[in-house]
Amino acid sequence: MPSHTVADLLRGLAAGDFSSEEITQQYLDAIADRDGQINSFITVTREQALEQARAADNARQRGNAGALCGLPIAHKDIFCTEGVRTSCASKMLDNFIAPYSATVVNNMASAGAVMLGKTNLDEFAMGSSNETSYYGTVRNPWNTDRVPGGSSGGSAAAIAAGLAPAATGTDTGGSIRQPAALCGLTGLKPTYGRVSRYGMIAFASSLDQAGPMARSAEDCALLLQSMAGFDERDSTSMDVHVDDYAGALDQDLRGLKIGLPKEYFSAGLDPAIGDAVHAALEEYRKMGAETVEISLPHTELAVPCYYVIAPAEASTNLSRFDGVRYGYRCENPTDLDDLYTRSREEGFGEEVKRRILVGTYALSAGFYDAYYRKAQQIRRLIKQDFTDAFKQVDIIAGPTTPNPAFGIGEKVSDPVTMYLEDIYTIAVNLAGLPALSMPVGFAGELPAGMQLIGRDFDEGRLLAAAHQYQQRSDWHLRTAPDCA
């Protein structure tokens, strides 16, 4: 079962080869048997999943099957799920039971998906390695001494370990694409506003975007079809037509112009990842695509720009966690000031506190113009770089990460080095563009990923380009050791 893609499972369910209850039980058994090594789940909703699976089987028998009817999936534990703990991997929300479900959760449930549980992540989605979780580090199934990437590392590890065929993730600066690359998966960060943020607990509101993670581009197309759409409850949701992603996967790539930013192939890129990306690009040329060297001149400013804007928005969003209305509350506070101070001191982890402090400083009187306003001006220049590039090319390609998965504990004490692991992904969020990561080979025994970036709301072209490559390769079907 672990090697089955979403598409395979949906075809098997439709043909009656197996029932949703049968495959859901298999995945639940796999979680119980193997997740002790990986730590990819925070909460497993066993009874609820089996109940949903039986309901999906009944719906299919009645001829009332939704697009994802009976498909087991996992949700990143940053999406509110009614009646189920939603923790954001933080002590602050360890006791929080969501009173409603996120639009993404509701949309996928309406399509018939079965929720296996909630996956681990960096606390409040702040991290690039899944080492900041209150519930412990997630391990990469390809090598359990290595990180799976973050912040959606639990979702990525669960799929790579064969504990779920697909999962939701969120991407603020690369948090779907980076773990997808490090775990040998396909992950899509849609255009900002394509997927509703309602019920997705905010880290940085102008950057956060939900998206699918699975083995193949075809899988991501099937999942995005149910996730995407306008939501009047989300003020950032865009009322833009949702394309038939799965139906457009067979687009002819002849004449497609692929831009290669020279800044993405410079010093700092692991040679083995560079070789894997160049080999994939050669396959695109064989399919009739053309590669063109381009420049994104403000690339080196993306990381410092992001690490002003994202913490500033985080400091505002996380101000709601004060020990009064919900979440962690310190014991025996002496007064209101003590309640606020100790609840936040004890409830937040070190990385979250670091970002709150940085963000508060950047927004403070006397520093707002020097830091936050300047970062927003740079953000506009970064967006313009992409706008200019897309006058020459149809999509942009390059490595997803500069290095393969690094060792657990290797970069915890050096946050700046950790932040640089997102150097190729962050600019996409600042520009609000869609981007996809897919596996294209290995660096030693660890997966290597290639990123495809598209114009606003052009997810269909990215998915088609990835799918055409995956029709000529099998990197996306490779399974981690002991997970076959």
| Catalytic annotation, residues | 76, 151, 175
3-state secondary structure the chain: CCCCCHHHHHHHHHHCCCCHHHHHHHHHHHHHHHHHHHCCEEEECHHHHHHHHHHHHHHHHCCCCCCCCCCEEEEECCECECCEECCCCCHHHCCCECCCCCHHHHHHHHCCCEEEEEECCCHHHCCCCCCCCCCCCCCECCECCECCCCCCHHHHHHHHCCCCCCEEEEECCCCCHHHHHHHCCEEEECCCCCCCCCCECCCCCCCCEEEEEECCHHHHHHHHHHHCCCCCCCCCCCCCCCCCCHHHCCCCCCCCEEEEEHHHHCCCCCHHHHHHHHHHHHHHHHCCCEEEEECCCCHHHHHHHHHHHHHHHHHHHHHHCCCCCCCCCCCCCCCHHHHHHHHHHHHCCHHHHHHHHHHHHHHCCCCHHHHHHHHHHHHHHHHHHHHHHCCCCCEEEEECCCCCCCECCCCCCCHHHHHHHHCCCHHHHHHCCCEEEEEEEEECCEEEEEEEECCCCCHHHHHHHHHHHHCCCCHHHCCCCCCC
**How many Å apart are CA 95 and CA 85, to the nearest integer?**
7
**How many Å apart are CA 426 and CA 383, to the nearest integer?**
12
Which residues on adjacent β-strands are paired with residue 398? 451
- Are 136 and 39 contacting, i.e. CB atoms less than 8 angstroms apart? yes
Dihedral, 453, 454, 455, 457 alpha carbons, nearest 10: -120
Q: In terms of Cα–Cα distance, which of 156, 189, 186 is closest to 428?
A: 189
Q: In terms of Cα–Cα distance, which of 483, 474, 470 is closest to 3?
A: 483
Instruction: Indicate the pairing of strand 290-294 with strand 257-261.
Output: parallel
Q: In terms of Cα–Cα distance, which of 225, 234, 243 is closest to 108?
A: 225
* Token pair for 97: 């039971």
**How many Å apart are CA 459 and CA 12, to the nearest integer?**
27
